[in-house]
Amino acid sequence: MLNRGYAYTTIISSKYHGRPLLSHLASLYPHSTAQAWQQRLDNGEVTLNGVPATGSESLTAGQTLVWNRPPWLEPAAPQHFELLFDDPHLLAVNKPSGLPSLPGGGFMENTLLRLVQKQFPNANPVHRLGRATTGIVLFAKTPQTAAKLTANWNTPAIQKIYRALAQNVAQQDAYEILTPIGLVPHPLIGSVWAASPLGTPGSKPSRSSARVIARTTSTTTFQVSLHSGRPHQIRIHLASIGHPLVGDPLYGPTGQPLENLPGLPGDGGYLLHAQFLKFPHPITGEQLHLEAKLPPGFP
Task: Please name the amino acid found at residue 105.
Answer: G
- Give the end of a domain, one of 153, 188, 212: 153
What does the H/E/C string look like for the chain? CECCCEEEEEECCHHHCCCEHHHHHHHHCCCCCHHHHHHHHHCCCEEECCEECCCCCECCCCCEEEEEECCCECCCCCCCCEEEEECCCEEEEEECCCCCCCCECCECCCCHHHHHHHHCCCCEECCCCCCCCEEEEEEECCHHHHHHHHHHCCCCCCEEEEEEEEECCCCCCEEEECCCEEEEEECCCEEEEEECCECECCCECCCEEEEEEEECCCEEEEEEEECCCCCCHHHHHHHHCCCCECCCCCECCCCCECCCCCCCCCCCCCCEEEEEEEEECCCCCCEEEEECCCCCCCC
221 contacts: CB under 8 Å, gap ≥ 6:
163, 164, 165, 166, 212, 213, 214, 215, 298, 299
Q: Assess whether 202 and 238 both reside in one domain.
A: yes
What is the reported pTM? 0.84
Residue 75 has pLDDT above 90, yes or no: no
The pLDDT assigned to 30 comes to 79
Of 146-150, 201-205, 263-267, the range with the highest mean pLDDT is: 146-150
Q: Is residue 297 domain-resident?
A: no
Q: Residue 1: which pLDDT band, with cuts at 50, 70 and 90?
A: confident
Percent share of the chain, pLDDT over 90: 79
Angle, nearest 10°, between helix axes 34-42 and 21-28?
120
27 shares its domain with 115: no
Supply the pLDDT for residue 105.
Answer: 75
Q: How high does pLDDT run on average in the chain? A: 93
pLDDT of residue 265: 54
As a whole number of angstroms, the distance between CA 110 and CA 266 comes to 15
Give how many domains the chain has, as a whole number.
Answer: 3
Instruction: Confirm whether 257 is domain-assigned.
Output: yes
Is 255 found in the same domain as 171?
Answer: yes
Label residues 122-142 b or e (16+ Cβ within 10 Å = b): ebbbbbbbbbbbbbbbbbbbb
CATH number for position 206:
3.30.2350.10
Q: Are residues 50 and 133 in the same domain?
A: no
pLDDT at 262 over 60: no
Tally Cβ neighbours within 10 Å of residue 143.
10
Name residue 235's amino acid. Answer: R
Tell whether 237 and 183 lie within a shared domain: yes
- 260-297 burial, b at 16+ Cβ within 10 Å, e below that, comes to ebeeebbbbebbbbbbbbebebbeeeeebebebeeeee
Whether residue 89 sits in one domain with residue 37: no
- The reported pLDDT for the residue numbered 197 is 87
* Residue 214 placed within a domain: yes
Could you tell me if residue 132 is left (phi over 0), alpha (psi between -120 and 50 degrees) or otherwise beta?
alpha
Q: Looking at the structure, do residues 46 and 93 belong to the same domain, yes or no?
A: no
Owning domain of residue 110: 82-153
In a domain, 56, yes or no: yes
